[in-house]
Chain A
Amino acid sequence: MIYLDNSATSFPKPETVGQAMLNFINNIGANPGRSGHVLSIEAAKVVYYAREEIAELFGVSDPLRVVFSSNATESINMVIKGMCKPGDHVLVSPMEHNAVMRCLENCRSHDVSFSVLPSNDEGMVLVDKMAEAILPNTVLIIVNHVSNVSGLIQPIREIGKTAKELNIPFLIDAAQSAGVFDINMETDNIDLVAFTGHKALYGPQGTGGLVIADEFSHDRIAPLKYGGTGSKSECEVQPSFLPDKFESGTQNAVGIAGLLEGVKYIKKIGLDNIRAKEKELAKRLYEGLSSIPGIKIYSKNNENYASTIPFTIDSITTSEISDILNEKYGVLCRAGLHCSPGAHSKIGTYPDGTARLSPGWFTTQEEIDKTIEAIKEMVNGS
């Protein structure tokens, strides 16, 4: 089996991820931060170390500004629902995932509006035109750092700098980029990062979080959930401090134990090494596929793109492509619209979508070569 669906979730995971989860469930098991006994403290330490590793990854000095959630989607909801009031306006890139778009669509009924930032044909935000899109009631800019549809990388540094000059909070959706691309919230002027644990951070599904920049006032965000935090139990009012303000209910500590190991693993290898390897694999795939007649690739083989390769074949529908690759060749990929109809519209692949191949750190050159051969054979046989 050749797994090329790392944009959906990374697989396999480093061995230490599963081991840490097993160890937590068998040997630690207690509720972090709820009690004073040794196991509860042990559990709290695991969660705290994960905060430290993640804070460092995103260039934040205070680990308590890492708020855990179940995934990027929840974190994005936390920001949009927590910040936007009736009458407010949000600006987004044209490449947003439904995690952002459905939440914004839902907020329309609360009189929150949104519009799309100016961009080029590929969907890259035109930073020098950003100011023109700002309205007097714009309260938030959201940009998907790396597109799950085309792999397009947005110029977050330049967008951050401009957002700061315009004095508008800036949220990035780092679901695809965290763990592969450098993100420094301080130097890149990013106020909020929504990340998911199960993709390029190599943690388990059901982990993720929101990172709040050291200088960003979290008073601007109301919690999405209210409830027990283990802190200030005598008080029936939600705590106002981080991370408890946003972490009601027992956390997924087993998952976070795994996420901690995933993050340690990618740091040990080095993001630049991961990026270089994945880019090399993507280049090989891109070049191999380009020579096949009737194939169309919707990413580019240049520094503006990550390692996601979306393609279509004239004579075969995208769902057939993924079915044949799966059944006949054991190549696993994802076809369709990838929860992002707007991004597909932008690159001209709506409503049919594309087949998407996404290598990861554990993908080998040999697997790439076999995949190219499989697609060649499939096209010849069609």
Chain B
Amino acid sequence: MKSYGYVLFYSTSAALRTEKVAKILNIPVKLVSVPRQLGSDCGVCIQFDTAYEEGIRELLESKRIEYSRIHI
């Protein structure tokens, strides 16, 4: 069964940028509303398959995208 992780952002712009870059890098992600239990920073977050956690972290690092936290 797939398990999901979430990247929470301060701003929607950063979430949209992450979605776009992930698509280019072939990392499957989805822009979703922040799950209630994770609280709300900007309303939307990036959902990813935990199998891609490393790729996601690398992406955020290399593109210097500001995010609030990663929830696994």
Whole-angstrom distance between the Cβ of A220 and the nearest chain B Cβ = 17
Q: Is B10 an interface residue (CB 8 A)?
A: yes
Least distance between A228 CB and chain B CB atoms (Å): 12
Closest residue of A by beta carbon distance from B16 = A48
What string of 1s and 0s marks CB contacts (under 8 Å) between B18-43 and chain A?
Answer: 00100000000001011000001111
- Cα A229 to Cα B33 in complex, Å, equals 18
Chain B residues with CB under 8 Å of A48's CB are 12-13, 16-17, 20
- CB of B50 within 8 Å of the partner chain: no
Known A41-B31, A52-B20, A62-B64; judge A35-B43 contact (CB<8 A). Answer: yes
Known: A36-B34, A41-B31, A48-B17. A232 touches B41 (CB 8 A): yes
User: Which residues in A have their C-beta under 8 angstroms from that of B31?
Assistant: 41
Bitwise interface map of A from 46 to 66 toward B, beta carbon under 8 Å scored 1, else 0: 011001100000000011100
Residues from chain A with a CB closer than 8 A to the CB of B66 are 241
Identity of the chain A residue whose Cβ is nearest the Cβ of B67 in the assembled complex: A241
**Number of residues on chain B facing chain A (CB within 8 A):** 21
Task: Answer yes or no: A278 CB below 8 A from chain B CBs.
Answer: no
For chain B, what secondary structure do more than half of its interface residues adopt (helix, strand, loop), or is it mixed?
Answer: loop
CB proximity of A177 to chain B, nearest CB, Å: 26
Cα–Cα, bound, A229→B40 (Å) = 14
How many A residues, CB 8 Å from partner?
A: 25
Instruction: State the CA gap A64–B16 with chains docked (Å).
Output: 10
A231 and B42 form a contact (CB under 8 A): yes
Flag whether A243 is at the interface (Cβ < 8 A).
Answer: yes
In the complex, which of the residues A47, A229, A239, A241 has the most CB atoms of chain B within 10 Å of its own CB atom? A241
Q: Which residues of A contact B9 (CB under 8 A)?
A: 231
Does chain B have a CB within 8 A of A197? Answer: no
Q: Complex: how many Å from CA A33 to CA B41? A: 11
- Residues of B near A37 (CB, < 8 A) are 33, 43
- Decide yes or no whether B44 CB sits under 8 A from chain A: yes
A 2-40 binary contact with B (CB < 8 Å = 1; else 0): 000000000000000000000000000000111111001
A residues less than 8 Å from B64 (CB atoms):
62
**Which residue in B11, B20, B33, B63 is a CB contact (below 8 Å) of A230?**
B11
Question: Does B14 interact with chain A (Cβ within 8 Å)?
Answer: yes
Report how many A-B pairs have Cβ atoms within 8 Å: 67
Contact, CB under 8 Å: A36 / B13: no
Q: Is the interface of A mostly helix, strand, loop or mixed?
A: loop
- Asked if A74 is at the interface (CB within 8 A of a chain B CB), the reply is no
**A374: CB under 8 A from chain B?**
no
Tell me the complex Cα distance, A68–B29, Å: 27
Q: Which residues of B contact A116 (CB under 8 A)?
A: none
**Are B43 and A36 in contact, CB atoms less than 8 angstroms apart?**
yes
Q: Which residue of B lies closest to A234 (CB)?
A: B41
> Is there contact, CB below 8 Å, between B11 and A33?
yes
**Chain A nearest CB: distance from B68 CB in Å?**
8
Residues of chain A within 8 A of B34, CB atoms compared: 36
Question: B26 to nearest A CB, angstroms?
Answer: 19
Residue of A nearest to B65 (CB): A64
- Please tell me if A45 contacts chain B, counting CB pairs below 8 Å: yes
Give the distance to chain A from B11, nearest Cβ to Cβ, in Å. Answer: 4
Q: Which of B11, B20, B65 contacts A231 (CB 8 A)?
A: B11
A33, B13: Cα distance in complex, Å:
7
Q: Are A244 and B13 in contact (CB under 8 A)?
A: yes
Tell me the smallest distance from the CB of A247 to a CB of chain B, in Å.
9
Q: Which of A132-185 contact B (CB under 8 A)?
A: none
Across-interface contacts of B63 in A (CB, < 8 A)? 62
Task: State whether A32 and B12 are in contact (beta carbons under 8 Å apart), knowing that A41-B44, A48-B17, A52-B20 are contacts in the complex.
Answer: yes
A sample of 24 cross-chain residue pairs with beta-carbon separation below 8 angstroms, ordered by A number, consists of A36-B33, A36-B34, A36-B42, A37-B43, A40-B12, A41-B31, A41-B43, A44-B12, A44-B13, A47-B13, A48-B20, A62-B63, A63-B13, A64-B13, A64-B65, A229-B11, A230-B11, A231-B9, A231-B10, A239-B10, A241-B10, A241-B14, A241-B66, A243-B13
Inter-chain pairs besides A33-B43, A44-B16, A229-B11, 4 sampled, C-beta below 8 Å: A33-B12, A41-B44, A230-B43, A231-B9
- Using a CB–CB cutoff of 8 Å, the interface residues on chain B facing chain A are 9-14, 16-17, 20, 31, 33-34, 40-44, 63-66
